[in-house]
Structure 1
Amino acid sequence: MASPQAPSAPAVSAVKTPARWWRSWWRSLSPVHQDRFAALAPLAAVLMFLAAIAASFWYLRTEEVVREKEALKRDVEYAQQRVRLRLLERQDQIMRIARDLSNEELERADFVSRTESLISQYPELQSVTWIDERRRIRATQAAPTVTSSQLYVNGEVLKKGETAELFKLARDLQQPVYSLPMAGTGDTAALLQLQVPLSPQGKFGGVVLAEYSIDSLLRYGTPTEVLARYAMTVLDGNGQVLAGTPLPPRRNTLLPWTTKANAYAIPVAPVGNGLVLRAQAYRTSLGVVGSGLFWLVGSLSVMTSWLLIATWRHTRRRQQAQQALVAETNFRRAMENSILTGMRALDLNGRITYVNAAFCQMTGWTEAELVGQTPPYSYWPEGEYEKLQANLRDELSGKTMPGGFQVRVRRKSGALFDARLYVSPLIDARGQQTGWMTSMTDITEPNRVREQLTASHERFTIVLEALDASVSVAPLGSQELLFANRLYRQWFGSQTGGHLEMVAQAGLPPSSSNASAMDEEDALMGLPLDPLTSAHSENAEIYRSDLGKWLEVRSRYLNWVDGRLAQMVIATDITPRRVAEELAARQAERAQSVSRLITMGEMASSVAHELNQPLTAISNYCSGMVSRIQNGQISEEALLSALQKTAHQAQRAGQIIQRIRAFVKKSEPNRTLANVHEMVGEALELAEIELRRHNVRLTHYVAARLPPVMADTILIEQVLINLMKNGAESIAQAQRPPAQRSVELRVVPRQVDGAAVIEFIVQDTGKGLAPEVLTHLFEAFFSTKSEGMGIGLNLCRSIVESHQGRMHAENLYNATEVTGCRFSFWLPLANASDATINSEATPTPRTIA
């Protein structure tokens, strides 16, 4: 008996070893850790129990879901077989009709009666249509539920679309073809098409088209018991619902994190993947969810866990409050030592009772050296004791200034700095004052910056006062003048009137408005939409009769130093420049007049020849009348006819002279609404004289109903005459044969950069222009003629550009040969504002830059 008991001693000691280790480990823990583990152990047990209940519940629910899915799959497959058989039965019936039609055993009337019987017997069959090989509808029969937009009409040709494509496919395959289901739109229902080809004598003879209502196919083809348990829907290949009503997303009472209902989908043969039958379960069995025991155990577990957690949190909060108190004390001490503001506490007798680290760092003395001092303090500068003593008396008596007071403080090294002191009373816990707390800030650097700003402001004022331009600033909506330099005060005084008058005369947005206008509308109406302080400045030129000066006025918005929106106006005296511009304009007018005189001088012989014709005719008429009167061979009628012809020739000569005088006489530029046809006609009559002298043919084309332009007719006529005369001279120098001696003038409307213009084109058949000549063609005093002055084309371009137009020259080519030259320029059309300005009396001297 002793032998079997011997090995048991080591086993017992081995069992006791873990227990002993556990007790030693527990006793080694602090009471705080023991309390924590004592609170966590019950919580862990409750959580494990709750996890076991949840795992059991999840397992049971999973088994339930699997069974429901298997049942759903079986029911959907059964319903799919029923729908498939129904489709195959209808397909067989349609194929029998197609076979009879192919064998010519069925006439049209028989087709209609037979299809009508099928449609009335089977609700899913909506229509049956007989279509021949030319896609013409021979006969059709439809159910009453088919809408008018879905009906086929006898005799019509099948329109292009999905039905026509399916027709081609049935013709090519020679077998029944189903279409992809077409979703309904509006009042139309989703339809499925079947096309069965006709094969009379082995040839394609058309199709029999059958259309099914997918909704009726679902309703009558699906078993009633399946429809009662599931929400049945028919989908296309893209998942779009064709028939039925799907269930909306809902919360699962068993698995709240899921939102999808139990569903299963399967394609319907023989249509294929384009027609899918889907079922969704209406509800899920509650199973163990309705068990009150489960919810009772769960509720008790949650409540127990909550109580354990609340006890544990209460213990932790008490420990955290103790730690926070120590941390707050350390934090306040660290913050006090880190601030740059010096703190000093005095008792009611003026003795220093406390200083912080910043105060010691400012003055250079330690806390031990400062605490306990009485006036005079060691940081008071010598020579200012009386002033500082008076400040201390005011401080101790409670006469403190809200903004503090400035003093001079001496550091231990002897250096001085400026400081500002702020005083507040010290109140103890019983509400009694025990002294004064003083904060001291070093303001040496701010004082230096303030002095620099003052000096900068003085320099800025000196510069503005020395400007040769008037500068004024006024706030919007006020009559106050915020700033005015010396020149403004010299011109307008110290009032805002000059500023407002310049703004109003220049047409800039106003800087102020009267009170009555402020009541009815916004005072800032008319200001730029951009941020005013970043908007571009606006320039204008005005004439001040009281000063006798032309002023260039520039305006800009800015934020004034007090935050108000203000308008700055800078006025510069530009009288010398305007005088120079007027002198240059007069010189240009003289140059234009001289150019016209030169042109007429060059055309003098042609003009003389043109005048010689009517004068010779007048002389001949007069001589003939005199001789016939002397011989008594003239009647009163013949005399009257001769006198009328003589008067006509005299009027012709007078018109030529008047037109030449109007062209060469000096006049101020007068831009008016000009009729293009009349202007071109005047230029053609004058230029035609010169062109006939050179034996050059003149052709012209002026577009009909051209709108008027804002132009000086004499100046534009001068441009046209110069261009046509230059073309004639170029043709003469090139010695072209008579058939090639022509100048063409074209006037047509055009679009340039989105704007409507009138383009004038003068085209000749001369020798053209060399490349080096094209570069300098419009420069002043540059001419290709040996006797030319070089002002003609330059003056022409200046005239065109003064009318806001552009001039251009280019050679004409036939392959590489130069066949002529083309000069073109365009003028903008007159707008409504130009017409208004032209109709006004006298323009004001104001000019907008």
Structure 2
Amino acid sequence: MTLIGAIRLMSGWHRLIKQVRSKLDESLPWGSGRRSLWTALIGLVLAVLVTLVWLAGRYEASQVQAELEHDTANAVSDLRGSLSRQVQALQALQSEPFAPAEWQPKILELLRDNRDWLRVEWRDTSWQLQAFADSPLRGPVFERMARSEVLNEANQACQRAKRLNGPAFSSTYFLPRSDGLGIEVMELCLPVTQTGELMAYMVVTYSLQELLTERLGPTFGRNNELSFVEPDGTRLAIAGTQRGEQRVFTSQQLVDLPGNTLLLRMDGRRGKPDLFPNVLTALVTGMSMALITVMVLLTKDARRRQKAESDLAEALAFRKAMEDSLVTGLRARDLQGCITYVNPAFCQMVGWEAEALIGKNAPMPYWPPEMVDEYQQRQAIRMAGNVPPREGFESVFMRQDGERFPVLIIEAPLISVQGEQTGWMGAVIDISEQRRIEELSRASQERLQATARLATVGEMASLLSHELNQPLAAIASYANGSLNLLQDPQAVPQTLDDVHMALRRIAEQAERAGRVINSVHDFVRRRDQSREPVQPQALLDAVAPLMNLQARKLQVRVHMRVAAGLPPVWCDRTMVEQVLLNLARNGMQAMDVPQCRDRVLVLQVQRAGPHAEDAGVEFTVTDLGEGIGPEVAAQLFNPFFTTKAEGMGLGLSLCRTVIEQHGGQLEFEAQTPKGTVFRFTLPVATA
């Protein structure tokens, strides 16, 4: 029991004192009742003091036990951490091929650092011993008993390690020593794997005694006795010291290891709790003074009772004022459905006086005549208790002048002091204004939706006009070239082949324009575009003809660099091709200035990260233009912002939206010594 429990017990006794005094005042004369009350109070004071002393001892003992359990949990955590670090040290030796001449010195160094290790062995997959090393800090562990006689536990641990593909511990067993004594040991088996194949096993023999002494003794063995025990209480190893105190506290914790579980026990001796701890001494003194004060104040009980009655009258008046000031109507009914109470807000709501409503039963005066039968059935269900309490429902009431208005009714059972239900209390809220506001909100929402649809139509028109410029320009270029070839009266078959090729290009660009219309339509409607796995080279090949037309016109050399062995990307092919075209066209136009002599545009595709296999594929478009100024860079991706006289300012904004829909991000940076690099990443298509 804690201090809070003691305080609660004291509060209960205080209430009991008041009840005893009240009963004595009613049944006994003033003199005899007063003496009996004083006797009872003195007895209660003594009982409180004795009980608090007992609680003090219980409290201090519980604190000591809780501290010991906390230390045990910390010891288990430290032990697990030490074993985990040792496993990591052994795993570090697996990074190099096995060579006995190099392996032996490293193992001896680890044996010197870890006194709880007795022996380390290297065995192949057929369980043949390849190399071993005994601890240089003590004699050979298997001097009296041959190693072959106790291989069973290590073999089982290695089988478990093979199944777990990780370290595994064996069960503990007793190993006799040459001095006539013996120790409890445990085996750790660590599989050695290279490129996913099992190559050998590394087996470490632990001494449980040294494990306790080295890993837990310096921290937890100063004031406690540590031991590994069997479930029946048999001690396997002991470490630490105990003070010569009389009382022993014990805590046990399981040490879960891969393949084995040890039980760690910690025994701590503590002295008997002080008779009065400091905190409880102050508490006892304070409570004793409080009891004495209560006994002295008994003479003024009459005055306090009179004041309590006055306060009660004020509280009732305050409650009545609160009920009268409420805007929510309150209505109380008994179990038969008769109205027993209404507040002024309810009377004002229905237009009837309280005297005209109290005592009324169904049908109520504020029920609309056409709904009387329905309301009577609903009231019968409510009175039967078949409706969950505090379940709000809407209804329609009628004022005295015949006006109907909607209300929300929330009813709950009325419970008496004895815990019995005496009726129902209902809260009635006029929701006429709420319904009017909801209707206005609904009309406003419809107007907003209509405005949003008009904005969507305008956005679609802007997108189509922007994205169709490139395929339509290509169609016009191929058509004009075909007309020029056909007007030549000395056309040769090679010229006709060029015309056929141009007509095929016209058909391809017309089909591309159709795909653009569909993709933009889906983009504006915010639907998921049809995505498919596409090779990065195929994306560049699809936009190459259009880029070459623009490049010849602006005298720009286009270099495409695609890394070998790139996986396909998961994307909407048409929209990503538009992104590449927009970025390439912007790069060419950035170099269309007289001072730019080296007009080279580089499109490069490579892995997004050198070490992340699933990081995605990165596309970069690099130009050698004059670069982007800080004032332009701040609003480069804003819709309708453009530095071109004939531009619409939608290209880069749409490119960024498309890439973000694919889970990437469109970024740019300055190129040294001049130029700009735009890059984005597309996800890799999984199986």
TM-score, scaled to structure 1: 0.33
Q: Given the two structures, how large is their TM-score scaled by the length of structure 2?
A: 0.39
Say which one has the larger Rg: 1
